[in-house]
Structure 1
Amino acid sequence: MPLYEHVMIARQDLSNAQAEGLVEHFSTVLADNGGKVVDSEYWGVKTMAYKINKNRKGHYAFLKTDAPSDAVQEMERLMRLHDDVMRVLTIKVKEHDEGPSIQMQKKDERDNRRERRDR
């Protein structure tokens, strides 16, 4: 089955438990349609670059899934209809990265860029 990564932004006035409950709800929708969630991460409340529906912040969640395209389309459709979900991004990937996503890594771990040289 194809592999997908999803990022969902929920309204800021939800509690952490409600936001994680949304992730579980959409995971069961995916499972009911023949897919499975490989990994999920709750990134917390983050400030957005611009306002969405008069909200400056949102609960971010990240899902790695292994599901047929019909299941993903149904999950996205239900996400877009849900009042608490503001944005959804789905990307098809060839393989899932091992370990935590870049958002969950410590700054020291992900700051392995080279030093700038003088030109």
Structure 2
Amino acid sequence: MPLYEHVFLARQDLAQAQVDALAETATKIVEDQGGKVVRTETWGLRNLAYRISKNRKAHYVALDFDAPAPVVAELERQTQINEDVIRYMTIRVDAHEQGPSAMMRRGERDRDRGDRGDRGDRGDRRGPRGDRGRDENEG
């Protein structure tokens, strides 16, 4: 069966329990039609690049599943009807990503970097007051 990734954005005023219920509904649609959901990830409440239907933020949810094409059509039809979903996208992929998705790894990467401090490769040698190359004794 073909492999798919389905991501949808839910309204910002929904509780996390309601978002989880939307994900379970999508999972049920896929499984009732003969597909199999491999992974479900909730990316949380995130800022949108632009306002969509008066929403500045949205709850992001991603599903990885393998199912025949009619399942995708039914999932998208049901998603369109739902008023709590403001955007969605389903794409066909060659293989599912192993481990956590890039959105989930992003938080781990930020924690590992910590405070990087000064890069040390600046050629202008600014002092603590922002002056360029002056000696402390110069006026």
TM exceeding 0.5: yes
* Equivalent position of 2:102 in the other structure: 102
* Equivalent position of 2:14 in the other structure: 14
Task: Give, in whole Å, the separation in 2 of the partners of 1:96 and 1:109.
Answer: 26
* Equivalent position of 2:64 in the other structure: 64
Unaligned runs of 5+ in 2: 114-139
CA RMSD of aligned residues (A): 1.5
**Structural mapping, 1:25-40, within 5 Å:** 25-40=25-40
TM-score (norm 1): 0.89
How much does 1:110 deviate?
9.6
Unaligned runs of 5+ in 1: 112-119
Task: Give, in whole Å, the separation in 2 of the partners of 1:29 and 1:58.
Answer: 22
Task: Give, in whole Å, the separation in 2 of the partners of 1:28 and 1:109.
Answer: 35
Identity of aligned residues (%): 49
Task: Give, in whole Å, the separation in 1 of the partners of 2:70 and 2:112.
Answer: 35
> Number of residue pairs matched?
111
Larger Rg: 2
1:102–1:110 CA contact under 8 A, matched in 2:
no
Are the structure 2 counterparts of residues 83 and 98 from structure 1 closer, same or farther at C-alpha, using a change threshold of 3 Å?
Answer: same
**Structural mapping, 1:76-87, within 5 Å:** 76-87=76-87
Structure 1, residues 68-100: CA drift from partner, whole Å, max 9, x if none? Answer: 110111001100110000101111000011000
Query: Greater strand share, 1 or 2?
Result: 1
User: Which is bigger in relative contact order (C-alpha 8 A, separation at least 6)?
Assistant: 1
